[in-house]
Amino acid sequence: MSASGLLARAKVGLLYLRGRRSVEWYVERGLRVGERCELEQPFELDPSHCWLVEIGDDVTFAPDVHVIVHDASTKRCVGHTRLAPVRIGSRVFVGARTTILPGVRIGDDVLIGAGSVVTRDIPSGTVAAGNPARALGTLESYYARTRERFATAPQFERAWTVDGGITAAMRAEMRARIGDGEGFVL
């Protein structure tokens, strides 16, 4: 099909073109999102039903988070697609490449590990990860272990990032200081 034909089909809604959408695009279509949220691109918030997604305050999505509120696997069985809202509480961190499925409720103060598939509710104050995601412990115990490691690990200021203007010499020093362990950057 020609480019003009594709454009004509897109204008009448017959063709769905994927691309990066801004938070504002979703909000205009009904997404409810709290304050001070950081949603790293790319992310996908079920564009066909984004008004069924609710995100609390102080939520962070690492890149490639997908939130899905529809399940088309039911179409063959009952002739309709299942819909179920997704609610994400406040002070939630969702790791990179995580998928959150229809009907899931994530409580407040939750950390979801990278690459997780969240199929069930996650209670407040929990660290969860995996496929399917399951509770691994409390957020407070995770924070306590992280603070212990932080106290002895190398720490770096913003200048030690690409955005901060890190130099080749600084990259080499960071590599040497971290070695086979870990470090922390502001």
CATH of the domain at 92: 2.160.10.10
Instruction: With respect to residue 181, please indicate whether it lies within any of the assigned structural domains.
Output: yes
Instruction: With respect to residue 106, please indicate whether it lies within any of the assigned structural domains.
Output: yes
Structure pTM? Answer: 0.84
Listed in sequence order, the DSSP H helices in 22-179 are 23-28, 75-78, 139-152, 168-178
Residues 77 and 119 in one domain: yes
3-state SS assignment for residue 19: coil
Residues 90 and 158 in one domain: no
Instruction: With respect to residue 166, please indicate whether it lies within any of the assigned structural domains.
Output: yes
Mean pLDDT of 85-111: 98
Residues 32 and 119 in one domain: yes
Residues 49 and 101 in one domain: yes
Give me the pLDDT at residue 18, please: 55
Dihedral angle, C-alpha 165, 169, 174, 176, nearest 10 °:
170
Instruction: With respect to residue 2, please indicate whether it lies within any of the assigned structural domains.
Output: no
Residues 109 and 179 in one domain: no
Residues 133 and 157 in one domain: no
Token pair, residue 77, equals 């069985």
Instruction: With respect to residue 5, please indicate whether it lies within any of the assigned structural domains.
Output: no
Q: What angle do CA 120, 125, 129 make, to 5 degrees?
A: 45
Instruction: With respect to residue 126, please indicate whether it lies within any of the assigned structural domains.
Output: yes
Give the structural domain span for 176. 153-186
Residues 175 and 100 in one domain: no
Residues 26 and 100 in one domain: yes
Residues 43 and 129 in one domain: yes
Give me the pLDDT at residue 9, please: 47
Instruction: With respect to residue 8, please indicate whether it lies within any of the assigned structural domains.
Output: no
From the list 81, 115, 96, the residue with the least C-alpha distance to 38 is 96
Residues 69 and 134 in one domain: yes
Report the relative pairing of strands 82-83 and 70-71 from DSSP bridges: antiparallel
Residues 86 and 161 in one domain: no
Residue 16 has pLDDT above 70, yes or no: no
Residues 64 and 131 in one domain: yes
Q: How many domains does the chain have?
A: 2
Give me the pLDDT at residue 14, please: 46
Instruction: With respect to residue 148, please indicate whether it lies within any of the assigned structural domains.
Output: no
- Under the banding of pLDDT at 50, 70 and 90, the label for residue 19 is low
